[in-house]
Amino acid sequence: MSARDLPADEYRAVEILDRLKLRFLAPPPLVSTADWAGQYRYIAKGPERGLWRNERTPYLVEPMECASAFSPYERIVLMFATQLGKTEVLYNSIMQRIHTDPQDMMMVQPTLQDAQDHSGQRFLPTVQQTPVMQGLISVSRSRDESSSWRARSIQGGFAVFFGGANSASSLASKPLGFAVADEVNKWPADVDNQGPPLALLEERMSNFSRRKLVIASTPTVKGASVIGDEYLASDRRQYHVPCPHCGERQVLEWGTGQAWGIQWLKTPLGAARPETAVYVCRHCGAAIQEHCKPDMLANGIWIPQAPGAGRGRRAGFHLNKLYSPLGWRSWASLVEKWEAAQKSKNAGNSAPLKEFINSSLAEDWEEVGTGADSQALRNRAEDYEMGKVPRHGLLLVMGVDTQPDRLEARVWAFGRGEESWLVDRHIIYGDPNLDEGTEGSPWTRLTEVRRTPVLHASGSQVLIEATCIDTGGHNTHAVYNYCRHHARSNVLAVKGASQYGRPVLGRPSLIDITWRGKTMKGGVKVWQIGTDTAKHLLYGRMRLTQAGPGYVHVPKALSDTDEFEQMTAARLLPVVVQGKHSMRWITPQGKREEAGDGMVYAYAAACYLGIQSYREASWARREQRIAPQETDLFAQVTVISNDEAGEPVHTSALDQESAKDPAFANGIGPATPESTAPPPPAQSPARSSLPAPGGWRASLVRSLRQGS
């Protein structure tokens, strides 16, 4: 007797039961995440909206294969540069399981706010734009927890949970067989005193024999990089692509200091030409144009450096932005970013280079040194007169550090390119709690110092234009009182910002208020100083060895004192702040830092005067006012040119003076002849000055000429 011989109602019941068994009791299909994405996935937002195409990002296929349910890997690590699709691998892995193998899953972001943003602004739109997902997941908004952003209900009574690494409760009481961890380098080192959040997440998965965890992040600082440690513990795969000229496979690397890698031409004056960027093959030395990249990516393969790592259950992938598909981040734009970062580094600011190393090259940043060297500073001290502003110092400021029994003031001069000179130091003994004008008060002497003109090397006299005074310690109200009475003379009360990474000089807060809570007219303002930000900048500048933009000049007259030790007392050390690994400037116990603090406060005073926005016109006006030239700086002089047209070139006397004056060669003024320009710093060699392997430079020049 067959099912067809049954009555109609019973026949329909059997048919429904068969369909239910086929849908819910049959084993999940053996479809990889990559194949599923190529067939079903739709991208809801961004420049690549529409049906997912594996051929657009072929380097993501193997990571998605490893993230598939039937693969033998328990842990997949993606150490990628930004904007290369690593988060899409996480979404594809989750959505494929919702469709073919529903189970409880979790996506963990650095914070609960990040988790909420992903749940509502990225995950939901993606589900709604993918037709095959319709009806498989709850998208209605209600007060029911099962359909809130924290947990999206899916078929079979399961759910996709969204948690934050900063909340232990969002990771607790949820047995999971599959989880994805995004941007783990932004996770805290300890969450709610319960240990590392990644360990808590793994504990929720320990009872599942087919568990799988996908970890993705961009690197940060070496020694405090979770993704870096995870990648080193994996089989460490790199994407090898073939050279279109010789066919040999290689990993695309920036190639700093090498004859291969990204190379570009420069103008006769040394300016980079990013549009000429090519990749020089390490095997044949040929120049690879960027338009060859699609074929290179399509034929690339992942090769592990440590096959079998983690008992064959850990797969790790590393990818930088040189692999970015055409239309995304170009090689030329990377060269522009590199050149800007090198320029900032040469001026003592390594933050842009750190961001480039992390976000573009997908490498951990390693701090070079832990501070500045006092002995190196002493060895390069210069024989200029204390109490006299050098020729190229055009802006005079002062920073004051308060101590229980004295005031320590440092007078600094700044010039073009924020080049700086320590002009004078004043150690004024007395009780800071004594009012100005009172016998023994150091404030009286400080006012005299501020108001006394300082002799300039040109023979003129200049005044201190702004002063920043520290409000910390036991003299807070005394500083408030002094700054309140001298506010019109640009005397600022400053305080170190409690948050890391704040601007050198932030917005002020009003301290003086009435008993009604209203601000008092003429009350004192306290300016927040990003001490860590300033020290990153100034300590980097003290390590410079070539005079020019950002260079810090110090006088030999202070060589027999502990001034240079005080200037370099702080050390950049790894710490855990609110559960997160970080690097902080810390002064060792027992070390004095009055000179270093005075330098920071003086630079904040310069920022108050707008030095960060100064251009050549501003410096030229200052120079004309302080050290006027005998010639008319803007008189037009006709110079006969040697160009083919034979047209005369009109230049100003200012341009001619800039060619003669070494200060212009080191500053941000008009371009100087190549003979007067200083040699580049040793730590950042010019990339285009490398030997020309296989004649790539000549061939590139020829191709450019033919194209024009």
Longest distance between any two alpha carbons in the chain, whole Å: 118
Answer yes or no: is pLDDT of 621 > 50.
yes
Beta carbons of 210 and 72 less than 8 angstroms apart: no
333 vs 321: CA distance, rounded Å: 11
Beta carbons of 297 and 241 less than 8 angstroms apart: yes
Give the tens place of pLDDT for each residue, 8-53: 777 788 788 777 766 666 555 678 899 999 999 988 887 888 889 9
126 vs 139: CA distance, rounded Å: 11
415 vs 425: CA distance, rounded Å: 19
Cα pseudo-dihedral 100, 106, 110, 115, rounded to 10:
80
Report pLDDT for 99: 87
Q: How many helices (H) and strands (E) does the chain have?
A: 22, 30
DSSP 487: G
What single-letter amino acid sits at 63?
A: P
382 vs 377: CA distance, rounded Å: 10
Report pLDDT for 610: 94
Closest of 61, 71, 127 to residue 94, by C-alpha: 127
State the pLDDT confidence band at 351, using cuts at 50, 70 and 90.
Answer: confident
User: Which uninterrupted H or E stretch holds 97?
Assistant: helix 86-100
Please count the other Cβ atoms lying within 10 Å of the Cβ belonging to residue 4: 7
Closest of 79, 131, 139, 71 to residue 101, by C-alpha: 71
- 327: exposed, middle or buried (Cβ count in 10 Å: 0-12, 13-18, 19+): exposed
State the pLDDT confidence band at 370, using cuts at 50, 70 and 90.
Answer: low
Beta carbons of 678 and 547 less than 8 angstroms apart: yes
Report pLDDT for 670: 35
**In the predicted model, what is the mean pLDDT of residues 626-634?**
65
Q: Which residues pair with 462 in a beta bridge?
A: 454
300 vs 419: CA distance, rounded Å: 48
3 state DSSP class of 54: coil
User: Which uninterrupted H or E stretch holds 413?
Assistant: strand 406-414
Answer yes or no: is pLDDT of 169 > 80.
yes
Q: Which tokens belong to 103? A: 């189970």
Q: Which tokens belong to 227? A: 């993704």
State the pLDDT confidence band at 453, using cuts at 50, 70 and 90.
Answer: very high
Report pLDDT for 700: 66
401 vs 571: CA distance, rounded Å: 19
Answer yes or no: is pLDDT of 68 > 50.
yes
Closest of 379, 311, 312 to residue 559, by C-alpha: 379
For β-strands 212-217 and 75-80, DSSP reports them as parallel
357 vs 353: CA distance, rounded Å: 6
Cα pseudo-dihedral 546, 344, 617, 619, rounded to 10:
-50
DSSP 494: E
Query: Cβ neighbours of residue 317 under 8 Å, at least 6 residues apart?
Result: 62, 63, 76, 77, 78, 79, 80, 237, 239, 302
| Minimum mean pLDDT range among 67-81, 199-213, 515-529 | 515-529
- Whose structure tokens read 């390069």? 380
Answer yes or no: is pLDDT of 324 > 80.
yes
The angle formed by the CA atoms of residues 87, 256 and 318, to the nearest 5 degrees, is 25
What single-letter amino acid sits at 53?
A: R
Q: How far is CA 79 from the centre of its chain?
A: 16
**In the predicted model, what is the mean pLDDT of residues 434-457?**
94
Phi, psi of 144 (to 5 degrees): -70, 125
Give the tens place of pLDDT for each residue, 108-129: 999 989 998 888 888 888 888 8
Closest of 98, 102, 89, 101 to residue 52, by C-alpha: 89
* Mean pLDDT, all residues of the chain: 83
> Which of 199-213, 406-420, 525-539, 619-633 has the largest mean confidence?
406-420
Report pLDDT for 252: 96
Report pLDDT for 12: 80
Report pLDDT for 118: 87
Give the tens place of pLDDT for each residue, 229-282: 999 999 999 999 999 999 999 999 998 888 899 999 999 988 999 999 999 999
In 471-564, where do the E strands start and end? Answer: 491-496, 505-510, 525-529, 552-553
DSSP string, 362-411: ---B--SSSS--HHHHHHT-B---TTEE-TT--EEEEEEEEETTEEEEEE
Please count the other Cβ atoms lying within 10 Å of the Cβ belonging to residue 266: 15
- 307: exposed, middle or buried (Cβ count in 10 Å: 0-12, 13-18, 19+): exposed
State the pLDDT confidence band at 689, using cuts at 50, 70 and 90.
Answer: very low
Q: Which residues pair with 251 in a beta bridge?
A: 240
Report pLDDT for 59: 96
Report pLDDT for 127: 86
Q: Which tokens belong to 509? A: 């807060």
Q: What are the structural domains, with CATH classification, of the chain? A: 34-232 (3.40.50.300), 374-560+594-620 (3.30.420), 629-677 (no CATH)
116 vs 406: CA distance, rounded Å: 52
Q: Which residues pair with 495 in a beta bridge?
A: 528
56 vs 49: CA distance, rounded Å: 12
41 vs 93: CA distance, rounded Å: 11
Please tell me which residue, 210 or 422, carries the higher pLDDT value.
422
- 699: exposed, middle or buried (Cβ count in 10 Å: 0-12, 13-18, 19+): middle
Report pLDDT for 227: 94
Report pLDDT for 572: 80
DSSP 267: -
Report pLDDT for 564: 94
Q: Which tokens belong to 476? A: 């807070």
DSSP string, 190-242: SSTTS--HHHHHHHTTTT-TT-EEEEEE---BTTS-HHHHHHHTS--EEEEEE
| Minimum mean pLDDT range among 61-75, 283-297, 507-521 | 507-521
- Whose structure tokens read 């739709």? 42
Q: Which tokens belong to 139? A: 């998208």
Burial 468-492 (b: 16+ CB within 10 A, else e): bbbbeeebbebbbbbbbbbeeebbb
Report pLDDT for 22: 64
**In the predicted model, what is the mean pLDDT of residues 189-205?**
86
Beta carbons of 313 and 44 less than 8 angstroms apart: no
Answer yes or no: is pLDDT of 490 > 50.
yes
Please tell me which residue, 478 or 643, carries the higher pLDDT value.
478
Q: How far is CA 125 from the centre of its chain?
A: 29
Burial 576-602 (b: 16+ CB within 10 A, else e): eeebbbbbbbbeeeeeebbbbbbbbbb
Answer yes or no: is pLDDT of 60 > 50.
yes
572 vs 369: CA distance, rounded Å: 8
**In the predicted model, what is the mean pLDDT of residues 690-705?**
57
State the pLDDT confidence band at 644, using cuts at 50, 70 and 90.
Answer: very low
Answer yes or no: is pLDDT of 651 > 70.
no
